[in-house]
């Protein structure tokens, strides 16, 4: 497949790159960099702007993730001064989640521009969520390095933050986070832990008005191999009970992280 000219992508990003190598590196997966042994590795610098010697987008993904997290936190802090830390953390977790970012990546057709190795190309890498999210974060880093924080901020607001907050406002939701099970899954993945285990522990009431009790169990750090009960909640359906239990588990993890931060 021929990679389209990046001028269309630059139009979607709202920026014409002064240093084209930055965007090229942001779009380069490690599989392509490893195969392209005859390609010259970027490494020149101009003032404070530079590309890195790795040739792929992994280190740019690292920077882009930090820029995205900062700008999103700043936006929420400014727009919702009345909300407490827990609410803002949930909102940020949703806005920077892989589920949300992959939609943004697809909206700007980012997959069409990825530079992939032959193996990734054959296995459908252009549509893989992980590759799309990594590339989007790397592109954010490229915008930051080429045009500064304000340029990156404009893109993040326009494509990632504002549309999603607008949708939630229109729907009358207090928080742009209703799928607590997905949020919990992403949270434990980021901690390198196994997936949560859900169990319907009890069913009470008549068939037309049953109440379900759901438990969610997690592999906590420093514990044995068996998952431990973290939260239990009731609901009029199995799904609602599990969502409520997942919400409690998220709050439990946040408290753990806060306590760990205070003890450092």
Cβ neighbours of 212 (radius 10 Å): 20
Q: Which of 65, 120, 159, 242 is catalytic?
A: 65
Q: Which of 56, 134, 137, 215 is catalytic?
A: 137
Tokens read off for 237: 């359906």
179 in active site = no
Enumerate residues 6+ apart whose C-beta is below 8 A from 165. Answer: 79, 95, 176
CA distances 143 to 16, 84, 136, Å, are 10, 31, 11
65 in active site = yes
| Residues with catalytic roles | 65, 137
């Amino acid at each position: 497949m021929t990679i389209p000219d990046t001028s269309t992508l630059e139009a979607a990003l709202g920026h014409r790159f002064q240093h084209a190598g930055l965007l090229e590196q942001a779009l380069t997966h490690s599989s392509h960099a490893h195969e392209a042994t005859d390609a010259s590795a970027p490494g020149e610098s101009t003032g404070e702007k530079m590309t890195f010697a790795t040739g792929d987008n992994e280190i740019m993904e690292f920077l882009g993730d930090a820029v995205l997290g900062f700008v999103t936190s700043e936006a929420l802090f400014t727009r919702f001064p009345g909300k407490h830390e827990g609410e803002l953390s949930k909102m940020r977790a949703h806005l920077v989640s892989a589920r949300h970012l992959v939609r943004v990546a697809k909206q700007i057709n980012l997959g069409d521009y990825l530079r992939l190795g032959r193996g990734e190309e054959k296995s459908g890498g252009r549509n893989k969520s992980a590759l799309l999210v990594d590339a989007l974060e790397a592109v954010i880093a490229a915008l930051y390095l080429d045009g500064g924080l304000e340029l990156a901020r404009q893109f993040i607001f326009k494509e990632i933050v504002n549309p999603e907050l607008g949708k939630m406002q229109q729907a009358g939701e207090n928080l742009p986070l209703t799928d607590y099970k997905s949020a919990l899954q992403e949270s434990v993945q980021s901690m390198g832990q196994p997936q949560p285990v859900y169990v319907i522990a009890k069913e009470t009431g008549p068939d037309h008005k049953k109440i379900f009790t759901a438990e969610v169990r997690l592999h906590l750090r420093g514990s044995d191999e068996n998952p431990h009960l973290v939260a239990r909640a009731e609901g009029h359906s199995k799904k609602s009970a599990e969502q409520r239990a997942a919400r409690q588990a998220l709050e439990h993890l946040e408290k753990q992280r806060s306590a760990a931060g205070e003890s450092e």
